[in-house]
Amino acid sequence: MVFTSLVFLFLFLPATFTAYFLFRDRAMRNVVLLIVSLLFYSWGEPRYVVLIIVSIIMNWGIALLLVRHTNWRRSILTIGVGANIVGLGVFKYTGFLIGSLDRLLALNLPAPNIFLPIGISFYTFQAISYLVDVYRGHVVPQKNPLFFGAYLALFAKLIAGPIVRYRQIETEIVSRRENLGEFVEGLRRFALGLGKKVLIADTMGSIADKILSTGPYVGAIPAWVGFTAYTFQIYFDFSAYSDMAIGLGRMFGFHFLENFNYPYVARSVTEFWRRWHISLSSFFRDYIYIPLGGNRVSQGRWVVNMAVVWGITGLWHGDSWNFVLWGLYYGLLLACEKLFLRTWMEKVPRILQHTFVILSFVFGWLFFRIEDFSLIGGWLGAMVGTHGWGHPMTLNALNVLHKYLWFIVAAVGSTPVVSNLFKDVRKTPLGGLLVDLWTGAILIWSVLEIALGGFSPFIYFQF
């Protein structure tokens, strides 16, 4: 089940709220969340709901063993983390590894038919963070398996994040306080996220798909339009899901941390990654980069650490070598920025700093979007004018030229301008009413688009 479906909006959510608020007892409300979350997942993944149940039981039990058998803590942690990684690897990377070996050694190996369970990367990483935090003494293990299950399987963040660590909501699992004000604020956030996805991300996605599906032999202008559209699509798609998850969590009394902080306004690649998918980048920082030694090692070892972390970051996003290339591309940029580029960038005007970062992530999304290695060079060539500038009628023939206003909407929406304006306007009762009317209009418009079939699945579902 997805957030952008009429079944979810008009059947699942009302039924969930009714069942949830029917009980006053915290334990019963957590049980309701666990049950509806498993039903939410089983709607589209009935075969693999058992994997989540196994993950809940396994990680709950291992966490308890970590505090009961202190002499074996390291071994227990290794087994627990290893089991999670193996489970993720089997379902997500078996086909990738066999295919890579087959192409490299020409073994003619049969391709395995393993279906990727939706959301497995997210709930696996949350389970790993829980075990490591228990091991480090950052959290006390949850003794109630149903409460732990409500955390790990919570439908609001189950499919595509954000990666919510247990310690971030440890207190709220047992003692959160729901109220009307928080519920309404969560509804506002959910509605805006729905609008970002259905109205902006899907519009940009339709433009990107039409242009980028033509092949890399278009002119520079169509190529840049296509990848600019994809740049906006991926931001609004990813951040919209986080907005909706944060909003849903707030309706139930949970306060998830922000996951996107307007990354496209960054003036350095480092700043970009501090603003983009914060829960994921902080996970890799805290559970891989720092344990490897971080930047408190020799320069050569640090370069290796960066390559390992960013190679894994790329591979996490998909079982294809283009994602590894994308990760290493950013690892190289960040290394160059730390070693010498930042000093040079600080001496140039801000507009040039920002322009450099914009070009960096647009080219980065090219590696992310184009999975066929044989086409990456062609698209890079198209963007620098190898096939000429291209004719405007190319865009008109693809039926995208008339959607130019959406690029303005996306450009403005990817900055904090509108958000800051709404905050100022809402300081007065009349302004608050106007903002709520605007939010309601976005919600209605989005629902109408969904009813007409004008939406697509979230991109992150593939991860």
Across 16-37, average pLDDT: 94
Please provide the distance, in angstroms rounded to a whole number, between the alpha carbons at the two ends of the chain. 16
Q: What is the mean pLDDT of residues 87-115?
A: 77
- Quote the CA–CA distance of 14 and 250 in Å, as a whole number: 16
Query: For residue 116, what pLDDT is reported?
Result: 78
> Quick one: average pLDDT of 149-159?
93
Contact 376, 189 (CB under 8 A): no
| pLDDT for the residue numbered 260 | 95
Task: Give mean pLDDT, residues 290-312.
Answer: 90
Count of alpha carbons within 13 Å of 317, Cβ hemisphere only? 25
> In the structure encoding, which two tokens stand for residue 129, read together?
């963070």
State yes or no: cis peptide before 457, omega within 30 of 0.
no
Three-class SS of residue 223? helix
Over residues 85-91, mean pLDDT: 90
Average pLDDT for 244-250: 95
CA-derived radius of gyration, the chain: 23
Decide: 356 and 347 in contact? Cβ < 8 Å: no
pLDDT higher than threshold 80 for residue 14:
yes
- Work out the pLDDT band at 393, boundaries 50, 70, 90: low
Q: Where in the sequence numbering do the catalytic residues fall?
A: 317
Give 169's pLDDT tier (boundaries 50, 70, 90): very high
Judge whether residue 88 has pLDDT over 60.
yes
Q: How confident is the model at residue 463 (pLDDT cuts 50, 70, 90)?
A: low
Lowest mean pLDDT among 218-222, 234-238, 311-315: 218-222
| pLDDT for the residue numbered 63 | 96
The closest of 407, 334, 322, 333 to 368, measured between CA atoms, is 322
Q: Is the pLDDT of residue 142 over 90?
A: yes
User: Between residues 269 and 101, which one has the greater pLDDT?
Assistant: 269
Rounded to two decimals, the pTM is 0.91
- Token pair belonging to 393: 């009628």
Q: Is the model more confident about 18 or about 428?
A: 18
252-299 tens-digit pLDDT: 999 999 999 999 999 899 999 999 999 999 999 999 999 999 888 888
Percentage of the chain lying above the pLDDT 90 cut: 57
Whether the pLDDT of residue 183 is over 90: the answer is: yes
> CA–CA separation, 26 vs 32, rounded Å?
10
Residue 391 has pLDDT above 70, yes or no: no
Mean pLDDT estimate for the chain: 89
Residue pair 246/259 in contact (Cβ under 8 Å)? The answer is yes
Contacts of 168 (CB under 8 A, 6+ apart): 256, 257
What's the pLDDT score for residue 114?
76
Q: What is the pLDDT of residue 389?
A: 77
The CA distance from 47 to 426, in Å, is 46
Q: What confidence tier does 416 reach under pLDDT thresholds 50, 70, 90?
A: very high
pLDDT tens for 65-77 read: 999 988 899 999 9
Q: Which residues of 126-144 are buried (b: 16+ CB within 10 A; e: fewer)?
A: bbbbbbbbbbeeebebbee
Q: How far apart are CA 276 and CA 270, in angstroms?
A: 10
Rounded to an integer, what is the distance from CA 127 to the centroid of its chain?
17
Three-state DSSP state, 277:
coil
- Amino acid 106: pLDDT: 67
Q: Determine the average pLDDT of the residues in 360-376.
A: 90
Q: Is the pLDDT of residue 392 over 60?
A: no
- Residue 462 confidence (pLDDT): 60
Residue 101 pLDDT class (50, 70, 90 cuts): confident
pLDDT tier at 397 (50, 70, 90 boundaries)? low
